[in-house]
Structure 1
Amino acid sequence: MVIFSLNGVLVETLEANRELYRAAFSHFGFNLSEVRLDELYQARDMWSLDRRLIAIAQKLNNIDYLAHFNHRRDQIIKDQVRVHRYAVRSLAWLPQAKAIIDWLPLKQIGLLLEASALTTRFRSEHIISYSGGRFEDGLMRAAKSLGRPPALTIVVESNPDLIARAVALGFKVVGIALPTMATDSNQLNALSRAGAALTVPDLRYLRLAVESLATRTAPRNIY
């Protein structure tokens, strides 16, 4: 059983969303240090960013801007989503049940899957949002939806912090490099240090990594 993170593993909208939040807070006259954008963004805590935006908009009586912001976010998801190379192929060979988790609300996850032609790859009960909650809770809900305990479930993740948190729960993790850093051995080593059982530079090697975890015959880095 395999659980995929969506953003950063199968698709990419992180940078586009980052710029959207940057523009939104600038609209209200706040700079990045004041809203801790980088810190919250790295933790994928969009819920905190959204709550901050709502509070500012209410204080300034500028609620209309929130509708514009949400519309722009939906447009980014539909128009600027970039499907990672080999994503569709990697999902096609995977015969066992699989789940997907993301920090976006379910509506946005659905838009992402539709825009990237991945909707049919996941059953609705295996699509998990942890928006407004903890990554750990999302992982456990995903494992429960698959009917497997963490020890029998593989997580595919690109964020070292989230890898460490998945490992702490007892999951086996395949760490995958971000596309812009696929040839960077330092990033692969960072994923290993976070606790990934195996690391791969891209989704071409996912099948080998997943199959190797059962026997642990492969090195920690596969490339």
Structure 2
Amino acid sequence: MRLLFCCLCLLFSSQSLAMNAGRYYYIIADQCEARGPNDPEALDKVTPDVLLFDVIPAGISDYYVNMNTDALSDYTQDGVDYLSGLESEQAYTVGRDTDGVYHSFMLQREAINRTTLVDLLASFSQRQSDKGYFYRKLLTLDPAVNRFKAVSSVKLVEDTQLPSALLLTEYTTKYYLFDSAGNAEQEPYIEINHLASIKRGLHQPRDPFYPLMANGLCGKEWKPVQD
């Protein structure tokens, strides 16, 4: 009887942390609190029609995410293809923190060499400020260093205000140096914020909706119109 009770608790807990599988499109919102014109037609005109990600079920209480890498506004095709390729194997976790219920997807955790890192950085953001940052970081690197730990991840946070919405708060790749004992350091040596590139393709800095993206991008599940 006690075993049955524990199993039921686990089942209900998994269901309470479940999310809706589907396609999530960008909406103008401040942490998924809807913003923009009240008139639906006017709102449609100022809202970019951009798919952010797909959430796909994988088993009873598991999911994986497909990011719309085509929305990376200033990456080379090699960079886009590389990030898409990372999604073939994922580790999914769900939990609660100060932001609420979150869904985390680990897309990559592996060691790479210096040549691979240089090539990857060249394929990501083509903005001069970003390329300058990459160049300066590589210049300060000891020539003897040749191994890095690469970690790519996505984080989605559930929203309690807007039904069928998820807040995309993280889409990053972090590169860590290894210490003398062969352990990855705590702080990343280089961090790539892929989410920033998606934001740049949605709104420009002078756009009144640009500041609303500071804490993440809100995706609302697309549902076909019922006849």
Fold equivalence (TM over 0.5): no
TM-score, normalised on structure 1? 0.27
TM-score, normalised on structure 2? 0.26
Higher helix proportion: 1
Higher relative contact order (CA 8 A, sep 6+): 2
Which structure's CA Rg is the greater one? 2
Higher strand proportion: 2
